[in-house]
Chain A
Amino acid sequence: MNFQLTEERQMLQDSLRRFLSDRYSVALHNDTLSSPLGYSATIWQQLAELGMIGALLAPEVGGYGGAGFDISTVFEELGRAGVVEPVLDCAVLCGSLLAGLDGAPTAREQKLLDQLIAGEQQLAFAHGEPSSRYERCWVETRAVAEGDEVVLTGRKSVVINAEAADQLIVSARETGAAGDRDGLSLFLIDPAIAGVRLRGSALMAGGRAAEVDLDGVRLSQSTRLGTAGQAANRIETALARAEVALAAETLGAMETATRLTMDYLTTRQQFGRLIGSFQALQHRVAEMLIEVEQARSAVINAAGHLEDLPHMRDRHIAAARNLVGRTGRRIAEESIQLHGGIAMTAEYELAHIVKRIILAEHRFGDADTQLERFIDLSAA
C-alpha cells in the first residue's frame, strides 16, 4: 500500500496551493463574484500557465496527467481556496469530451484541446435539460439530419460557463426515446449562430450559467463530434471524471470549513471562556474531523478507480459522491452553527465555502441520486 502522492503530483499540489493562497484572496473573490464574466480571466490565464489544465488531460492529447489522482489533486486545492473559475466545466467536462477516449482526437479536436490547455479557449457542455434531473442519458433535444445539415431543437438548462464559451458542446438525440443510451450525439456549435438563445444568470456559489434555447439551429454535419448516435460512452466518461473532480473539490472545501471553525472556536470568547472549551462543541468538532477523513478516503477510492471498467468505476464514484454529499452537508451546517451569526455574512470566507459545498450536491446527482445509483450498480 502507498497513499503518498507521486513526486510530480506533490509538486503540482504545492505550486497550486502556494499560488492560490498568495493570489486568491477573499477580496479578489468577492469582486469576481459580482463581475459580468463571473470569473477572473487573469486567474484563468495564470492557472493555465501553471500547467493546471494540462494536468487534467492525458499525454496522448497534449496534457501531462489526466488520471484520477491528477484530477483529485488539482480539485482538492481548488476547493480548499473556493475557486470559482470554470475549471470543471471547461477543462474537465469539455476537455474529456474532446479527448474522446474511444479513439484519437481528430485534427480539429486536437487543435481545440491545445488551445484549451493553453487557456485560450472557453468551452461549456450543454447537456442537462428541464426534465433530465440527474439522468445522464435523458436527452429530449432532437437532432434531425437534412442533407448535409443537422437541425437541433430543444432546451438545455443551467449550462455553466455558457455565456463565456467560445464554443458549446451540445448533446442531442438523433434516434430513440429520452433516457436511451443509443442515439445520442455531440455537436460543437458557435453560440452566436442563428437559433441559439442564451438567458444568463449568476450562480449562488459563483460563476455564471445560462438557459440555452435551441430553436431549429442548422449545423453542418461536420460539427458532430465522433460517431452519430454513439456519444453515450463519451458523455458517461466525461461525467465520471467531472464527478471525481467535484468530490475532491468538495473535500477541499470541507477541510477549509473545518479549519475556519476550529480557528473560530479557539479565538471566540463567550460567557468569559473560549467557546472551544465547551465539551458539547468539542465533540462536534471531533465528529467533523472524523467525517472529513471518511470523505478523503471516499475521494481516494473514486479517483483510484476512475480508469476501471465503467461498472466498477461508477460504483465507486456513486459511493464517494453519496458520502461526500452527506458529510459535506453536515460539515457545512455544523460550521455555520458553531460560528453563529458571523457565518451568515457574505463577506466572511466561510459563507462562500459553505455555498460551494452545499451546491456541489446539485451537480450530476445529489446524495439520494447517488445512493440509488449505488444500489442499482450493486444489484447488477
Chain B
Amino acid sequence: MDLNYSTEELAFREQVREFLKTQLPKDLSESVRIGRTLSKDDHDRWHRILHGRGWLAPTWPDTYGGCGWNAVQRHIFEEECCRAHAPRVVPFGLTMLAPVLQKFGSDVQRNHFLPKILSGEHWWCQGYSEPGAGSDLASLRTRAVRDGDHYVVNGQKTWTTLGQYANWIFCLVRTDPNAKQQEGISFLLIDMDTPGIEVRPIILLDGTHEVNEVWFTDVHVPAENLVGEENKGWTYAKYLLTHERTNIAGVGFSQAGLEAVKRLARQQMHRGRPLIENPHFAARLAQVEIDLMAMATTNLRIIAAAAEGHAPGIESSMLKVKGTEIRQEINDLARRAAGAYALPFASEAVIGDNSALAPPEGTEAVAAQYFNNRKLSIFGGSNEIQKNIIAKAALGGRA
C-alpha cells in the first residue's frame, strides 16, 4: 500500500495546474464557479483551447489524436479541471461516440468523423432515451426502415442534452420490429440538418434549457451512416455506456462543491458568527466530507485497478450510487447555507447581469443547482437500476 502519487504523477499534476492557470479564461471559470449557464460559445472556446494543447481527448488512443493517458492521469486531469472551475467538456462526441467509432466504425466513418469531433466542427448529441422507455432503454420504438440506399426514420427521442446546439445526433433505432427487444436495434448517425427533424426545448424545474425532445418525421439517412451491422446496435450501445460511466464518481465535482459550501458558510452570518461555526451545520459538513474522503479512495482503488487493465464491473454502479448521493448532499448543504437567499429565482440571478438583485456572493445558483442535480440519481441508469445490478451480481443464482 502506498497512498501517495508517484513522482511522475505529481509532475503531471503540476503541468496540468500550470496549463489551467495560464490558459483557462477567467470569465469562463467565473461562470462555472457561480453556476451560470454556459453558452455554446463558452463551450466552443474551451474545446478549442484544449484541442490546441492536445488535451481534448484523454480517453482516445494517440493514433487518433488522443492523449493516451492512463486512468490515473485522466483522474488527475479531471480533478484539477474541477478545482480550477473549468467547463465540463461536452462528452457526447468525445467520450461516448468516438470509442464506438474507433472500435466498430468503418475506416471511412473513422476518417470522416473523428477529426471533426476534435476540431469541434461536429457537435454531437445522444439519441438514446425515448418517452416511456427511461431506464428500460431496450423498449425504444423509433423506427428506421431501409429504402434503397437510405433509412427512413420516424419517432421521438427525449432528454437530448444540449441538442439545441448539436449538428449531429447518434441514435438507437429499431430496424427489426419482430426480433426480440434487444436484437432488432441499430446504431445510426444522423445529420441534424436533414429535413424532418425538429428539436423542441424542455424547460427544467430550475428554469434552465439543457434538454430537448427530438422528433423525426420521414427523415432520410444515408445507409453508409449505419455503424457496424444492422440489428447489432445494442452491442455498440452497451459498449458506449461503459464509457459513459467513466468519471462516474464525480469526486472532483464534489470536492469543488464542498469548497464552495465552506466559502459560503464562512460568509453567511448566524447570531453574529460565521455559519461554519454553527455546530449543526458544521456536523453536516463534516459528515459529508468524511463520506467523500472515503469515496475518493474507493474511486482511486478502482482507477488503479483499471490502469492495470482490470475492467470495472459492479464497482461502477457502486460509485454511481455513492457519488451521486454525496453530490446531492453537498447541493443540499449549499442551499441550506444560503438561508433566505436561496429563495430568488436563479435565472434572474444567474443568467447575465445580476446587479439588480445583488445577492450575496455564492448564493445565486444554490437552489437551482440543488433542484437540477436531482437528475444525477435518475439519468445514466437510475440509482435503483444500479442497485439491481449490484444485487444481481452479488446474489445472482443464489437467491
Contacts and interface: CB of A to CB of B under 8 A. Distances in A.
B343 A362 contact: yes
Interface stretch (A13-21, A234-242, A310-318, A344-352): A344-352
A233 interface: no
Contact of A178 (B134, B272, B368): B272
Nearest to A332: B374
B339 interface: yes
Nearest to A134: B339
B368 A346 contact: no
B271 A341 contact: no
Interface in B241-270: 268-270
A172 interface: no
Interface string A340-373: 1101111100011011001101110010100110
Contacts of B377: 337
B373 to A, nearest CB: 10
A209 interface: yes
A131 interface: yes
Given A201-B345, A355-B371, A179 B272 contact: yes
A99 B153 CA distance: 67
A138 B268 CA distance: 14
B177 interface: no
- Give the interface size bracket for A toward B: 35 or more
Identify the interface centre among A133, A160, A366: most chain B CB within 10 Å of its CB: A133
A133 B357 CA distance: 18
Contact of B375 (A333, A344, A346, A351): A344
B336 interface: yes
A131 B129 CA distance: 46
A354 B382 contact: no
Interface stretch (B29-37, B79-87, B201-209): B201-209
B384 interface: yes
Nearest to B134: A340
Interface in B349-389: 349, 356-358, 360, 367-368, 370-372, 374-375, 377-379, 382-384, 387
Contact of B134 (A270, A352, A363, A372): A270
A331 to B, nearest CB: 13
The majority secondary structure among interface residues of chain A is mixed
B340 A271 contact: no
A344 B117 CA distance: 30
Given A179-B271, A202-B344, A204-B346, A368 B378 contact: no
Nearest to B132: A269
A269 B135 CA distance: 11
A345 B205 contact: yes
B205 A201 contact: no
A23 interface: no
Contacts of B275: 133
A346 B205 contact: yes
B341 interface: yes
A298 B372 CA distance: 30
A280 interface: yes
Contacts of A352: 205
B272 to A, nearest CB: 7
B166 to A, nearest CB: 19
A336 B139 CA distance: 22
Contact of A346 (B207, B335, B348): B207
B378 A340 contact: yes
Contacts of A346: 203-205, 207
A334 B374 CA distance: 10
Given A201-B356, A337-B374, A358-B367, 11 more contacts: A135-B271, A158-B341, A178-B272, A179-B272, A201-B345, A203-B344, A203-B345, A337-B378, A341-B375, A358-B335, A368-B278
Interface of B: 129, 132-136, 139, 158-159, 202-207, 268-272, 275, 278, 280-281, 284, 328, 332, 335-336, 338-346, 348-349, 356-358, 360, 367-368, 370-372, 374-375, 377-379, 382-384, 387
A-B pairs, 6 with minimum CB distance: A351-B205, A202-B345, A131-B269, A346-B203, A158-B340, A368-B280
